[in-house]
Amino acid sequence: MTTPIQNTPSTEPLPEVSDWWTTAISRIRPGEILLRGYPVEQLIGQASFPDMIWLMVRGDLPTRSQSQLLEAALVSSVDHGPQAPSIAASRMAATCGLGLNNVMATGVSLLGDTHGGAGQQCMQLLDDLIQQVGDDGDLDEAAEDIVATHRAQRRHIPGFGHRFHPHDPRRNPLLDLVADASTSGAVPGRALAAGTALERALAKGRSRPVPMNIDGATAIVYSELGFAPELGRGLFVLSRSVGILAHGWEEKSGGTRIKGPIPRRLLPSYNGPAPRDLQPEGTA
The amino acid occupying position 104 is: M
Smallest separation (angstroms) from a second copy to the CB of 85:
4
Instruction: Tell me 162's DSSP state.
Output: -
> For a second copy, which is the closer residue by CB, 167 or 204?
167
Q: How far is residue 254's CA from residue 44's CA, in Å, rounded to a whole number?
A: 35
> For a second copy, which is the closer residue by CB, 88 or 197?
88
Per rule CB under 8 A, is residue 153 in the interface with a second copy?
no
Q: What is the widest separation between alpha-carbon atoms in the chain?
A: 80
Q: How far is residue 112's CA from residue 118's CA, in Å, rounded to a whole number?
A: 9
End-to-end CA distance of the chain: 38
* Binding residues with a second copy: total (CB under 8 A): 153
- The set of residues, in sequence order, having a beta carbon less than 8 Å from that of 96 and lying 6+ positions away, is 258
The contact mask relative to a second copy for 109-138 (x = CB under 8 A, - = no) is xxxxxxxxx---------------------
Q: Give, as ranges, the residues between 250 and 279 that touch a second copy (CB under 8 A).
A: 250, 252, 257-278
Per rule CB under 8 A, is residue 7 in the interface with a second copy?
yes
CA nearest to 121, candidates 3, 27, 222: 222
The contact mask relative to a second copy for 199-238 (x = CB under 8 A, - = no) is -------------------------------xx-xx--xx
> For a second copy, which is the closer residue by CB, 173 or 226?
173
CA nearest to 160, candidates 126, 131, 202: 202
Contact 167, 211 (CB under 8 A): yes
Smallest separation (angstroms) from a second copy to the CB of 213:
12
Q: Give, as ranges, the residues between 41 and 100 that touch a second copy (CB under 8 A).
A: 41-53, 56-57, 59, 61, 63-64, 67-68, 71-72, 74-76, 78-86, 88-89, 91-93, 95-100
Per-position b or e across 2-34, b if 16+ CB within 10 A of its CB: eeeeeeeeeeeeeeeeeeeeeeeeeeeeeeeee
The amino acid occupying position 53 is: I
Per rule CB under 8 A, is residue 177 in the interface with a second copy?
yes
Smallest separation (angstroms) from a second copy to the CB of 200:
21
Q: Give, as ranges, the residues between 9 and 48 that touch a second copy (CB under 8 A).
A: 10, 12, 14-48
Smallest separation (angstroms) from a second copy to the CB of 67:
7
Per rule CB under 8 A, is residue 104 in the interface with a second copy?
yes
Contact 124, 184 (CB under 8 A): no
Q: How far is residue 155's CA from residue 116's CA, in Å, rounded to a whole number?
A: 18
Smallest separation (angstroms) from a second copy to the CB of 130:
21
Smallest separation (angstroms) from a second copy to the CB of 129:
23
CA nearest to 186, candidates 69, 61, 31, 276: 69
Smallest separation (angstroms) from a second copy to the CB of 176:
8
Choose which of 170, 201, 215, 224 interacts with a second copy (CB under 8 A): 170
Per rule CB under 8 A, is residue 179 in the interface with a second copy?
no
